[in-house]
Amino acid sequence: MKNDCLVLAIETSCDDTCAAVIKDGREVLSSVVASQIDLHKQFGGVVPEEASRMHIEKLSLVIDEALDKANTKITDIDVVASTYGPGLVGALLVGVNEAKAISYALDKPLVGVHHIKGHIFANFIENDIAFPFVCLVASGGHTHLYLVKDYMEIELMGQTLDDAVGEAYDKVARVLGLGYPGGPIIDEIAKKGDKANIDFPRAWMGKDSYDFSFSGVKSSVLNYLNKAKMTSQEIIVEDICASFQDAVVDVLVTKTMKLAKKLNIKSVAIAGGVASNSELRQRFRDACKDESINFYYPSRKYCTDNAAMIGVAGYYEYLSGNTSDGSLNAVASLTLGSKK
């Protein structure tokens, strides 16, 4: 007799083709990620049409591999979950349509999962976190600050008004000729630089604002480079990386901690690709220790896009009765929580 609940999860919102099998919402039986980085890095960023085409080519193989690694047959699956937004609409559609087809063929429930919710829920894979907690989601597409009151009650407290922080990392890396994606490269190079050498601006957005802006610091790096080239000043890439990272990490940590303290919240979590940044993790570790606040973050493989996080979030959507029918569609600009 079978008591456990197996979720087959699919994630194709951007440039990673991902599938996972999750047991009872917590245990990752398998998580397969087929990265498209090699395809997109020649263009210095994600080319949407190429991403969709690659998802179509890879998704069935990735699902088969996830089932194999989990030692599971597709007929053992109880729930089929897929990211349905936000993201690149053509890319999302590949995952949503595959999930619909599998759910129909198996006659098993279909669940649409919000991508950002997936990032937040990645924290539950390796940690038991008590509600409420403050969660900073920082990735290539998002910079959002949430108050997570319960699995289904998530309130938006602040967000970027222009570039996402990962996008700023990628653009700065591009102008420095460092390659794509820029975040992990800058993270490494910054360790060898002196952050005190250049003063890049921090956008605080007003005293009580929890919103963010990263277009200013990005332009400031561009201006610094242009000026240095015109005046034949030496360009120390390590110092630029360290100073840029210091400016963005300072704002992310300060605002998140300020929110937690203001609301008297005892746990802070981070999520999304940028949550794997070593400096960000260290500054949060130190700040949370000073304030006796618990600090949580997912392993690196669960920070960047993956389907395990979608399976965890999908399980709780399913438990809450949030199933979908064949009319589930991709929503490129899906929002999560509204600001009060």
| 298 belongs to the binding site for ligand KG4 (CB under 6 A) | no
Instruction: Quote the crossing angle between the two packed helices 182-190 and 278-290, to the nearest 10°.
Output: 70
Compute the chain's Rg from CA coordinates.
Answer: 20
| 139 belongs to the binding site for Zn ion (CB under 5 A) | yes
Position among 146, 169, 212, 244 found at the interface with ligand KG4 (CB under 6 A): 169
Which letter does DSSP use for residue 9 in this model?
E
Draw the binding track, 281-320, toward Zn ion (x: CB under 5 A; -: no contact). Answer: ------------------------x---------------
Strand blocks (E) in the chain? 6-11, 16-23, 27-35, 79-85, 110-114, 133-138, 143-150, 153-159, 267-271, 294-296
Return the range that interacts with ligand KG4 (CB under 6 A); candidates 75-83, 183-191, 205-213, 318-326. 183-191
**Residue showing tokens 């008004």:** 161
What is the Cα–Cα distance from 311 to 334, expressed in whole angstroms? Answer: 18
Cβ 337 to ligand KG4 shortest distance, Å: 17
| 96 belongs to the binding site for ligand KG4 (CB under 6 A) | no
Return the range that interacts with ligand KG4 (CB under 6 A); candidates 133-141, 154-162, 215-223, 258-266. 133-141
Instruction: Quote the crossing angle between the two packed helices 89-106 and 48-69, to the nearest 10°.
Output: 30
**Residue showing tokens 């006659």:** 107
**Residue showing tokens 């038991």:** 128
What is the Cα–Cα distance from 209 to 283, expressed in whole angstroms? Answer: 21
| 246 belongs to the binding site for ligand KG4 (CB under 6 A) | no
| 304 belongs to the binding site for ligand KG4 (CB under 6 A) | yes
Of Zn ion, ligand KG4, none, which one does residue 159 interact with (CB within 5 to 8 Å by kind)? none
| 82 belongs to the binding site for Zn ion (CB under 5 A) | no
Position among 158, 183, 311, 337 found at the interface with ligand KG4 (CB under 6 A): 183
Q: Site residues (CB under 6 A) for ligand KG4?
A: 14, 139-141, 166, 169-170, 181-184, 187, 272-274, 276-277, 304-305
